[in-house]
């Protein structure tokens, strides 16, 4: 049976330095031990990793609470959990 809500690994974003043109696979289930990225822990949960393709090189803030309405990047949703 698939989970309906993701686990919340932390109520804050993960700051990550990314490289333009590179793909990063964000964990949407919240179970990965390699947060904020997928390690395959979603198997059987109904969740799938989400690709983020960096358009510029620099730091971005990946969602840590898994409730961002703006996709893989933090939108402040953790402030209302």
Residue 58 β-bridge partners: 18
Structure tokens at 20: 């333009």
Indicate whether 81 belongs to any domain: no
pLDDT in tens, the chain (81 residues): 466 899 999 999 999 999 999 999 999 999 999 999 999 999 999 999 999 999 999 999 999 999 999 899 999 999 998
Looking at residue 1, its pLDDT comes to 46
Domain of 62, in residue numbers:
1-67
Indicate whether 36 belongs to any domain: yes
Please state the domain count of the chain: 1
Indicate whether 75 belongs to any domain: no
The C-alpha atoms of residue 20 and residue 68 are separated, in whole angstroms, by 22
ω into residue 19 within 30 of 0, thus cis? no
Indicate whether 73 belongs to any domain: no
């Amino acid at each position: 049976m698939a989970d309906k809500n993701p686990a919340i690994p932390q109520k804050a974003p993960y700051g990550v330095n990314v490289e333009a043109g590179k793909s990063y696979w964000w964990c949407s289930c919240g179970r990965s031990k390699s947060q904020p990225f997928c390690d395959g822990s979603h198997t059987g949960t109904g969740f799938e990793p989400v690709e983020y393709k960096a358009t510029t090189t620099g730091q971005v803030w990946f969602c840590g609470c898994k409730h961002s309405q703006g996709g893989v990047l933090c939108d402040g949703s953790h402030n209302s959990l």
